[in-house]
Amino acid sequence: MTAPTPYTIHDNVAFGFLSLIDVDPGASEFMLDLSGASKRVRVARGTVMASVAPQAEPMLFVTPQAEAKVLGTELDFGIQASGTRLSVHSGKVNFVRSSDKASVDVNAGFT
């Protein structure tokens, strides 16, 4: 297994078939782990936009407050110390609060 790859701030990361992650210049602690069946993106603060091609296993977006399980969608996150804001532009995302593991499915067009 390989270690997660650190990327510089404001990277466009392309991987797989038609998947793209755009990380804004204000993001901190951004890590991308492609080593397992489920790809994992971690970010502590900032904005992340992603267009994720359909996946066999959910792609995980992890912030200090929540985790989003993505099979294929377009979405963006706003991460601050006080919380994580998710907007789903297409597809559906399962959003899980870290503190108590409560979850909700967020459909396209909702925040």
Q: Between 96 and 9, whose confidence is greater?
A: 96
pLDDT in tens, 20-32: 788 888 788 888 8
pLDDT value of position 55: 80
Q: The pTM is what?
A: 0.79
63-89 average pLDDT score: 91
pLDDT value of position 2: 47
4-27 b/e with 16+ CB inside 10 Å = b? eeebeeeeebeeeeebebebbeeb
pLDDT value of position 12: 52
pLDDT value of position 88: 94
Q: Tell me if residue 48 falls in helix, strand or coil.
A: strand
Task: Give 57-83 as a DSSP string.
Answer: S-EEEE-SSEEEEESSEEEEEEEETTE
Q: In which band, very low, low, confident or very high, does the pLDDT at 61 lie, cut at 50, 70 and 90?
A: very high
* HSE-CB of 86 using CA atoms within 13 angstroms: 28
